[in-house]
Amino acid sequence: MDIGGINPVILVASLMVAAVPIMLAALGELVVEKSGVLNLGVEGMMIVGAICGFIAAVGTQSPVAGFAAGAAGGAVLSLVFAFLTQVMLANQVATGLALTLFGLGLSSLMGQGYNGIKPPVTAKVPFGPLAEIPVLGPIVFGHDWMVYASIALVACVWWVLRATRLGLIIRAVGESHEAAHALGYKVNRIRLGCIAFGGAMAGLGGAYVSLVRVPQWVDGITAGAGWIALAIVVFASWRPWRVLIGAYLFGGISVLQLNLQAAGSGIPVEYLSMSPYLVTIVVLVIMSSGRGRASLNAPASLGQNFHAAR
Amino acid sequence: MLRLEKRPIPSRFWLYATPVVAVLLTMIAGGLLFALLGKNPATVIKTIFWDPLFGEFAWYLRGQLLVKAGPLILIAIGLSLGFRAGIWNIGAEGQYIMGAICGAGVGLALYPTESRLIFPVMILAGALGGWAWAMIPAILKTRFNTNEILVSLMLVYVAETILAKASTGFLRNPEGAGFPGSRSFSGSSFPAASNPELIAGSGLHWGGVFALLMGVAAYILLQRHILGFQIKLAGQAPRAARFHGVKPERLVLLCMGLSGALAGLAGMFEVTGPAGKISIDFNVGYGFTAIIVAFLGRLNPLGIVLAGFIMALTYVGGEMAATNLGLPSAAIQVFQGMLLFFLLGVDVLTNFRIRTTLLGVK
């Protein structure tokens, strides 16, 4: 049942893997933006997470240690951003860009000597006979544990933001930092926590790129995935479940274009490889215009620094 | 306890002192980094900041400084206008590539005609190419309210694939035995379209001339022209700007267009001069480094000219350190990133002062 040389079951199964990095990074950025902070350094945190995870996984031969190190690397880098924007009150757009430029350099510095090494294989979850079911087996029961963990994290973030006191505080800080401050919440500290969470998630996503998706180390391995994650947050109108849909959409496009390249379709390779970026632009245009504009859902204090006068 | 207190008006002293302090702090932090990499920090810092200016090979390296500073200044001048107005064009790298492809494409289409008019037409084509590429995020922003940061950045990746296609496909040298890359512009192969050194050994080519001219032009624009006033006003007080009659859409189109055109120019001068031909990786990230240059120059045209030379110093000195001391080239990228961090951090002192509060005293 191949269509144009592409098996749809394998396509769906592999898009679920391709979607994990951008889903994790976008989910983290969603929480950051919900708290009113715009961190444009996702790409930098992702790639630092990718190399930290890779080094740890190769060193210990344990993928779990790799993912933990990736998350830690992303979080540490995000704390630089948090310090500059929350304590030194620097411009968030400029600091985010700096984070990306710095992260790209740092990762390539750390990654020297790691080219051409294979990381340890991340095990698939043993579902036993369930994985043998035709069609459903490879799509639902044929993945490594990070695929399921990322979906669980979406549910987790959705629940926390919607139904818990912590979520309410985060949203309050993002909608009106003045009001949240007047209520006695430590705006900058809450934002600092959210930024660190976002960094950890971006680092986790980056580690998934270098440990599972590619899996090896090359300079610039994330290739704009962090920027696409930022676009997905807009696409999702700051709602966690829509992040999942957005990530699957973009995962699907990147897998489809790779498959089309391999299947030798008539479309030149260059046009196929630019398609994820073009689709991102088209989606941004659709989401930003007309009625039901995505920007209406944006947190009201997004991108503004808060300085308590006393 | 340390506490920040907002200054009634920004400090003029710190406005000028910030970049200097940031460069010094970066040297210290960079020295630590180089020490971690097992190099002697003092030697590396001297190789980067001293040797290109006064060292043994300074006669050659000083020229290289101008070669690197030219495109950085040209791009950063354009970016700074937008940054001042709160319009974030961060896709200069893409506009740089498209300017190079358009400029070189026009030249190659006329090969091997010899005419004095070819180079000016190529300059125009380069500026137009960059302008058109920047118009995409600008028009999407004004028409559909799309985020210009994300769109302009996405277009960098698109431009890179077009560049790959150009050097292996539609601009490939037909006499190049199938190797990627276009016909060469350097030397005597196509003199009408080449962008040679104007004074031997100085490193000055038309790109450097344009960069310095644009620096002066931007300074006059910001200080003496109503448009410059509107750009500054829109950035500092968007509401007041609207009452003043500034049309935000017009400003977006103008700032994005200008920065795109200047980035395109930089790309065109680079590809016909120092780079010599369209190749798959002729771009080395000037479009991104120019963002650092713009901030280091405090978004002020004259400051940017200075900052461009400091950044060029890290490039030229970094290459020296790479060949002579075996310093990894990525370390320079980290160094440049750190510079921007320190700059943004120290900048707090321009608008705030640090007060110490004793326990119990408010």
Domain-located, residue A310? no
Q: What is the ipTM of this complex?
A: 0.87
pLDDT band of A280, cuts 50, 70, 90: confident
Domain-located, residue A303? no
What CA–CA distance (Å, rounded) separates B169 from B175?
Answer: 13
Q: In B, which residues are within 8 Å of A280 by CB distance?
A: 150, 154
Domain-located, residue B24? no
Domain-located, residue B334? no
Query: Per-residue pLDDT averaged across A62-85, rounded?
Result: 94
**In 3D, which of A96, A126, A143, A114 has the Cα closest to residue A53?**
A114
What range does the domain containing A225 cover?
A: 8-297
Give whole-number Cα distances, A142 to A125, A130, A131, A248, in Å.
Answer: 7, 9, 6, 17
pLDDT band of A94, cuts 50, 70, 90: confident
In chain B, positions 158-177, which contact chain A (CB-CB < 8 Å)? 158, 161-162, 164-165, 169
Domain-located, residue A216? yes
Instruction: Work out whether the CA dihedral A135, A141, A144, A145 comes out positive or negative.
Output: positive
Q: Could you read off the pLDDT of A106-150 as tens digits, one per residue?
A: 999 998 888 888 888 887 777 777 777 777 777 777 788 889 999
Domain-located, residue A308? no
Domain-located, residue B123? yes
Q: In B, which residues are within 8 Å of A270 by CB distance?
A: 161-162, 164-165, 169
CATH number at residue A70: 1.10.3470
Mean residue pLDDT of chain A comes to 88
Q: Which two tokens stand for residue B318?
A: 């970094």
Establish if B73 touches chain A: CB-CB under 8 angstroms.
no
Per-residue confidence (pLDDT) for residue A82, from 0 to 100: 95
Q: Do B344 and A270 touch (CB under 8 A)?
A: no
Interacting residues of B253 by C-beta distance below 8 A, sequence separation 6+? B135, B138, B139, B142
Q: In B, which residues are within 8 Å of A93 by CB distance?
A: 88, 149
What CA–CA distance (Å, rounded) separates B297 from B212?
Answer: 14
What angle (nearest 5°) sits at the alpha carbon of residue A295, between those of residues A209 and A36? 70
Q: Which two tokens stand for residue A114?
A: 């790691």
Q: What percentage of residues in chain A have a pLDDT greater than 90? A: 48
Are the CB atoms for B274 and B67 separated by under 8 Å? yes
Domain-located, residue A214? yes
Residue of B4, B36, B44, B158 to mutate, interface with A, max A Cβ within 10 Å: B158
Decide if pLDDT at A251 tops 80: yes
**In 3D, which of B90, B291, B112, B284 has the Cα closest to residue B189?**
B112
* DSSP 8-state secondary structure symbol assigned to residue B282: -
Find the closest chain B residue to A99 by CA distance. B337
Domain-located, residue B10? no
What CA–CA distance (Å, rounded) separates B131 from A223?
Answer: 25
What angle (nearest 5°) sits at the alpha carbon of residue A67, between those of residues A66 and A71? 120
Find the closest chain B residue to A111 by CA distance. B330
Alpha carbon of B142: minimum distance to chain A alpha carbons (Å) = 10
Alpha carbon of A70: minimum distance to chain B alpha carbons (Å) = 19
Find residue B47's DSSP bridge partners: none
Q: In A, which residues are within 8 Å of B331 by CB distance?
A: 105, 109
What CA–CA distance (Å, rounded) separates B92 from B260?
Answer: 7
Q: Do A289 and B145 touch (CB under 8 A)?
A: yes
Alpha carbon of A123: minimum distance to chain B alpha carbons (Å) = 33
Establish if B188 touches chain A: CB-CB under 8 angstroms.
no
Establish if B336 touches chain A: CB-CB under 8 angstroms.
yes
Domain-located, residue B60? no
Per-residue confidence (pLDDT) for residue B362, from 0 to 100: 46
| Domain tally, chain B | 1
C-alpha of B174 from chain center: 33
Residue of B25, B148, B153 to mutate, interface with A, max A Cβ within 10 Å: B153
Domain-located, residue A1? no
Per-residue confidence (pLDDT) for residue A168, from 0 to 100: 94
Which range of A7-11, A180-184, A193-197 scores highest in mean pLDDT? It is A193-197
Per-residue confidence (pLDDT) for residue A91, from 0 to 100: 86
Q: Do B340 and A101 touch (CB under 8 A)?
A: yes
Residue with tokens 């277009």: B155
Domain-located, residue B230? yes
Per-residue confidence (pLDDT) for residue A245, from 0 to 100: 92
Query: Per-residue pLDDT averaged across A35-60, rounded?
Result: 94
Give whole-number Cα distances, A175 to A187, A194, A297, A300, B238, in Å.
Answer: 11, 14, 10, 5, 20
Are the CB atoms for A233 and A284 separated by under 8 Å? no
Q: In B, which residues are within 8 Å of A101 by CB distance?
A: 288-289, 291-292, 333, 336-337, 340
**In 3D, which of B61, B21, B26, B27 has the Cα closest to residue B42?**
B27
Query: Per-residue pLDDT averaged across A218-240, rounded?
Result: 89
Domain-located, residue B238? yes
CATH number at residue B90: 1.10.3470
Per-residue confidence (pLDDT) for residue A294, from 0 to 100: 61
Instruction: Determine the length of chain A.
Output: 310
Find residue B2's DSSP bridge partners: B356
* DSSP 8-state secondary structure symbol assigned to residue A224: T
Domain-located, residue A96? yes
The separation between the first and the last C-alpha atoms of chain B, rounded to the nearest angstrom, is 11
In chain B, positions 88-107, which contact chain A (CB-CB < 8 Å)? 88, 90
Are the CB atoms for B235 and B85 separated by under 8 Å? yes
Q: What are phi and psi of A172, to 5 degrees?
A: -60, -45
What range does the domain containing B211 cover?
A: 67-310
Q: In B, which residues are within 8 Å of A230 by CB distance?
A: 150
Are the CB atoms for A204 and A49 separated by under 8 Å? yes
Interacting residues of A86 by C-beta distance below 8 A, sequence separation 6+? A188, A191, A192, A195, A305
**In 3D, which of B68, B78, B67 has the Cα closest to residue B262?**
B78
- Write out residues in chain B with pLDDT < 50, as ranges: 362
Domain-located, residue A170? yes
Q: Do A274 and B345 touch (CB under 8 A)?
A: no
Q: In A, which residues are within 8 Å of B292 by CB distance?
A: 98, 101
